[in-house]
Structure 1
Amino acid sequence: MTDLTNPWIVTAFLGADACLLDSVRELRARILFDRGRRPAFRRADGSHADDQDLDFGAWHFIARQHPDGPPLGYIRLSTPTTGDRFQSRAYLGTERYEELLATQGIDVADTFEHSRLVVEHRSRKLGLGQYLNALAIGAAHHLGAHAMIGTSGTKDGQDRFHEQFGFRSMPGTRRYVEQYTEDVVIMFHRVAEGAGRHHDLVSRLRDEFPAMAAAGPSPLLSEEPSGRLAPTALAGVSGPDRDVWQPTLLAPRDPTDFQALTALLASGEVREVHDTIDEQLSELIRSREPSCRDSTEIEARKREQLAGLTMWEYGSWVWYPWSQRLVHVLPRDEYRLVRTDRNRGKVDRPEQRRLLGKRIGIIGLSVGNSAALTFALEGIGGAYKLADFDDFSLSNLNRLRAGIHELGVNKAVLSARQMFEIDPYLDIEIHRGGLTEDNIEAFFVGGQGSIDLLIEECDTPWVKVAAREYARDLRLPVVMDCNDRGMLDVERFDLEPDRPLLHGLLGDIKSVDVADLTPQEKVELILAMVDADRISPELAASFGELGRTLSSWPQLASGVALGGALCGEAARRILLGLPCASGRFYTDLDRQLSPERSTVT
């Protein structure tokens, strides 16, 4: 079997852009002219021409040896959508073309055509022709072809070249064609019969085709003489979509998903393709059988797992529209088994399955963002409801794990995106307006289902109290981190349905009592809520400076990260029925890191 590893750099695009097609046609015609061997490809003015309507709607592949190097070869792949314009149909005539396919038991709608394989003379001995031919065949296999057809010259043995890829010449179709100045014959290839000597190469390029298709043609940027990007170029660039937050999962074995995946790749929207399914399968085998370390045995087990499917057909392709990434992952159960495999010994698989069956509500996605990501990483909950009215801003970058390209994105949207990038199989519902009188009931019991646990991390007094009223009525546990001195609050309304809100620190308070507070009244209420005598000196001092020298109270990334960890620990214990009582607990890092706490003499 031949397996070429030539370092060719290929641009792949679906033909629609007239400017791109003009350059492609000039390249083809110049090579086909072949120093005068085929004069039909040269105009009287000396320019080269190869204009064909078949170019529109076809896949075009251009190969270079270096990213900025000249094009050295080209091939075209036409799909059944333009089958009425196939070269082979024009060569045979429609009636004979369809009769030939019928005798082979192949439907016209399942037949692809590759054509116009051209390679510069200096690259013909480097294997570029084999590589491009294998790429077109592999792409057709990926796109669902049952058969391929095409015309082939015979003067230099092109027909014998195609036979190496599993094609065979069709009897009675050979005749001289003036345009090519040689005899031409129809070649036919049945996908189910493999790709001959180059089957391995075709299979590899079939799996690599999605990444090539996603890359698309290189964009052209206008520049000012100074070399800086021109304002006119910036003016035409659209901003990010700040609202999209749900990925799309596509299973290539499903015909509808297969068509959607193919259309997505052809759309030009895919910026990156990430396919590590082979490595993920190896991890799956080792996760199930840690003692299996023999590479040959692992490969055998992987073939068993695939059960006759090709690599690209297995599992799910996840489309993340906000980053324009297409990612290949294992099926849901296998994905989660591998992803949480290192939890074992602390959280075993039966416990993990129990956790994934839980739905968690999180209100306030600053400290709550840290909790949400910790939960997603650890597998605490398989479904979530997220609520926050605020947008991610520059001043949040001192404590939220996000990038500057996400400024202006709603925090619930941002958190959902980040969680889906950890586990695309999660069930997430978001409330971009935060928690209000209009949606509070739906947050707790509506939508996709009722929540099992509430994480409350917002700054609005009414929400803090109203959420606890609902939680107590529904007998739901509530966990809150205060981001100061590692203070964690746990209220087990599931076990103590008559427990006073916030441990009774605010008396018999009701949400209606805190609906219309002045700014000063809000500060006083929050101080009482967190127990002013126990807060850190730094936080205590900051309250008097709010609105004067401080825009808001201080928070650090280390404290937010600690809050996520504390919420995660409490949530896991509660949801698994492990000891976790109501109360207020401190993990004060000032005290924990004091010299007298050291265990080393």
Structure 2
Amino acid sequence: MPVERRDIRTLDHDVRWHVSAFRIPRSGADHADRVSRLRELRARILYDNGRRPEFRDACGAHVDDQELDYGAWHFIARRHPRGPVLGYIRLSTPETGELFQSRAHLGEQRYEQLLAEEGAEPANTYEHSRLVVEHRARKLGLGVYLNAVAIGAAHHLGAKLMIGTSGTKDGQDRFHGRFGFHPVPGTRCYVERYTEDVVILRHRTADGAGEYTDLVSELRHRFPSLMHDDPAEWASAGSENPPEPAALTSGVAPDRDAWQPVLLEPCHAADYATLTALLESDHITAVYDTIDAQLAELISCREPHLRHTEAELEHKIEEQLAGVEPWAYGSWFWYPWSGRLVHVLPREEFRLVRADRNRGKIERPQQRQLREHRIGIIGLSVGNSAAVTMALEGVGGAFRLADFDDLSLSNMNRLRASVHHLGVGKAVLCARQMYEIDPYLDIEIFTGGLTDETMTEFFHGDGTPIDLLVEECDTPYVKIAARECARALRIPVVMDCNDRGMLDIERFDLEPDRPLLHGRIGDLHAADLPELTPQAKSDLILAMVDADRISPELAASFGEIGRTLSSWPQLASDVALGGALVTSAARRILLGRPCESGRFYVDLDHLISPDYNTAATHDGIPA
């Protein structure tokens, strides 16, 4: 018996889906392979990385064997005819009514009572189930269209009543409610296989399909005219699915070089075409679209004194959209190193909302002023903390980052990163982290670090010099050469020494003749360093950090480096404090607030001591 087939092409905000429908006969061994592929597809998505463990057996195979698969319609969805399968739903017909899941859940007597209450008979009752969508397609409307396709098909086939089971953990029951499905009272209960509460839903076809009535009606009428048979295409249905995580051990190397997100604004024809092509590719791992929530926050930030009703808020959002479809509003950013596609508000609105909680300490005019500045950062271990904190706080809108080194395992005691970042360049990693905080930043990176060849480009760029330098590198030559260049260009320099909370500030913008490092290195120039002996270089470093003021632990470590220690000790808490100190100083300098040259200590070992305890007690009574 041939497999019946219909193809349906549907459109969601100009995103085209290719949906194929097949009816598997109830008997016959010719279709076992097709059913097996469908079951594996469903079970893999339902397993959901272990959320529902019963959909995977002890051998690691995904299992969802149900007799209902025979005699039912199966709908599979792709972006294009030969693309990977992204979603699936099943529509069971009266032919297998005795096997319906909802019937087993309700019990025979309650099931027959429900049909009688709805004026339906077994011959015109259909069951829809197993709506599963790949994560990367869930925010693109695929679930809506698959549901509409199955409901439209049931309407066309003469269904008077549709029934089905639905999970509730992620709001699936509410999702189906938008199609006119209503819960059957008293049917909600926990089901171990699904690890959540399940409820029985029913849908009268005569009542339409809720907010999707027009779409379901359109698909109902198109359904019979799109029938054709192409077994070859169906044969490939399971072969192009993404591989299982276990299969990814084939040696495919992650992208260690990409660091710039791709900005796509659908209102522009070229960006729309690029976005469409990207969605049809296999380069997207997940789609994140929270634009509705972002718009609601935007309204709240602009009118914090008002408490809008839900209807008022919807009206305000419609006014903000000004006729633009929500999917086309703002910007989409694709992050090639992770494959994520993220939808955010337009630049100014995004930044207004993201920095709204800064107000009261940094007002909006100052926020805008800070974003006009370009900051250079050399050395991205300690400097990473400063860079990320600046991105979070909105201090600087453009950055130049320089570091020649790659992330190693021993860096991870103080540098915020994950184990999958090992081997990634520190400049690349830092740029990625900053772009994931604010994708509208302007960032340049120097993966070879700062050298004589790149010094001019780092400080001057293409005619846009930096306004402030954060220097956090380990190389004495670069520390001095960078300061010589900064002083010549009247650029202030900020440095955290990662010990005792020592913050160093050199206001070359106000004092162009100021001696480097407050005169602690005398008249030494960068050009003199190659002539120094190793001992002289060690003495130079001690002079830079002020040997008399460093912590006892750091002082003791110098003699142990290369003997019992691989390098000088550094702690994440000290690095985090340094990021805060550098950001605070940079903010003061860039806003023109008092911040003089000097060396300052925020020594937590000293400050978190009994002498500074403001809640200390005397004779048992709080001070």
Residues 310-325 of structure 1: pairs in structure 2 closer than 5 A: 310-325=325-340
Aligned-pair CA distance for 1:219: 2.6
**Given the two structures, how large is their TM-score scaled by the length of structure 1?**
0.70
Deviations 1:381-411 (A, max 9, x none): 0000000011111111111111111011111
2:341: which partner in 1?
326
Query: Residue type of the partner of 1:370?
Result: S
1:242: which partner in 2?
256
Aligned-pair CA distance for 1:156: 3.5
The more displaced of 349-358 and 300-309 is 300-309
SS at match of 1:395: helix
1:225: which partner in 2?
none
2:557 is aligned with 1:542: yes
Q: Which of 431, 437, 441 does residue 422 from structure 1 map onto?
A: 437
2:74: which partner in 1?
74
Residues 91 and 126 of structure 2 are in contact (CA less than 8 Å); yes or no, is this contact kept in structure 1? Answer: no
SS at match of 1:125: strand
Residues 90 and 129 of structure 2 are in contact (CA less than 8 Å); yes or no, is this contact kept in structure 1? Answer: no
TM-align CA RMSD = 3.9
Query: Residue type of the partner of 1:434?
Result: G
Deviations 1:420-465 (A, max 9, x none): 0100000000000100000000000014721100000001111111
Distance 1:130 1:445, change over 3 A: closer
Aligned-pair CA distance for 1:314: 1.4
Q: Which of 23, 30, 39 does residue 47 from structure 1 map onto?
A: 30
2:347 is aligned with 1:347: no
1:88: which partner in 2?
none
Deviations 1:553-599 (A, max 9, x none): 11111110110000011000000000000011111112111211222
Residues 32 and 118 of structure 1 are in contact (CA less than 8 Å); yes or no, is this contact kept in structure 2? Answer: no
1:305: which partner in 2?
320
2:490: which partner in 1?
475
Aligned-pair CA distance for 1:252: 2.1
Residues 501 and 577 of structure 2 are in contact (CA less than 8 Å); yes or no, is this contact kept in structure 1? Answer: yes
Residues 386 and 580 of structure 2 are in contact (CA less than 8 Å); yes or no, is this contact kept in structure 1? Answer: yes
CA distance in 2, matches of 1:595, 1:514: 45
CA distance in 2, matches of 1:448, 1:318: 28
Deviations 1:163-217 (A, max 9, x none): xx9xxxxxxxxxxxxxxxxxxxxxxxxxxxxxx855448899xxxxxxxxxxx94
Residues 384 and 429 of structure 1 are in contact (CA less than 8 Å); yes or no, is this contact kept in structure 2? Answer: yes
1:525: which partner in 2?
540
Residues 466 and 511 of structure 1 are in contact (CA less than 8 Å); yes or no, is this contact kept in structure 2? Answer: yes
Q: For structure 2, list consecutive stretches of 5 or more residues without a partner in the other structure.
A: 1-14, 35-40, 48-54, 56-63, 83-87, 102-124, 163-177, 179-207, 217-239, 616-622
Query: Residue type of the partner of 1:258?
Result: Y
Query: Residue type of the partner of 2:290?
Result: T
Distance 1:74 1:202, change over 3 A: farther
1:261: which partner in 2?
275
Q: For structure 1, list consecutive stretches of 5 or more residues without a partner in the other structure.
A: 1-11, 16-23, 36-41, 52-60, 83-114, 143-147, 166-195, 205-215, 223-232
CA distance in 1, matches of 2:591, 2:480: 26
CA distance in 1, matches of 2:606, 2:502: 13
2:577 is aligned with 1:562: yes
SS at match of 1:267: coil
Deviations 1:341-388 (A, max 9, x none): 000000000000000010000000011000001100000000000000
1:451: which partner in 2?
466
2:254 is aligned with 1:219: no
Residues 362 and 372 of structure 1 are in contact (CA less than 8 Å); yes or no, is this contact kept in structure 2? Answer: yes
Residues 317 and 329 of structure 1 are in contact (CA less than 8 Å); yes or no, is this contact kept in structure 2? Answer: yes
Residues 360-399 of structure 1: pairs in structure 2 closer than 5 A: 360-399=375-414
CA distance in 2, matches of 1:258, 1:141: 22
Residues 46-125 of structure 1: pairs in structure 2 closer than 5 A: 46-48=29-31, 66-67=46-47, 68=55, 69=64, 74-75=74-75, 119=92, 121=96, 122=100, 125=126
CA distance in 1, matches of 2:443, 2:215: 37
For these two proteins, the number of residue pairs brought into alignment is 468
Deviations 1:91-134 (A, max 9, x none): xxxxxxxxxxxxxxxxxxxxxxxx999656548734459999xx
Distance 1:266 1:527, change over 3 A: same
Query: Residue type of the partner of 2:317?
Result: K
Residues 168-247 of structure 1: pairs in structure 2 closer than 5 A: 197=209, 199-200=211-212, 217=241, 219-220=243-244, 233=247, 235-247=249-261
SS at match of 1:328: strand
Distance 1:138 1:505, change over 3 A: closer
1:97: which partner in 2?
none
Q: Percent same amino acid at aligned positions?
A: 57
CA distance in 2, matches of 1:536, 1:264: 54
Aligned-pair CA distance for 1:77: 6.3
1:251: which partner in 2?
265
Distance 1:383 1:221, change over 3 A: closer
Residues 14 and 266 of structure 1 are in contact (CA less than 8 Å); yes or no, is this contact kept in structure 2? Answer: no
Residues 422-441 of structure 1: pairs in structure 2 closer than 5 A: 422-441=437-456
CA distance in 2, matches of 1:561, 1:154: 61
CA distance in 2, matches of 1:459, 1:418: 22
CA distance in 2, matches of 1:314, 1:201: 25
Deviations 1:278-309 (A, max 9, x none): 11111111111002222332221111111122
Distance 1:79 1:512, change over 3 A: closer
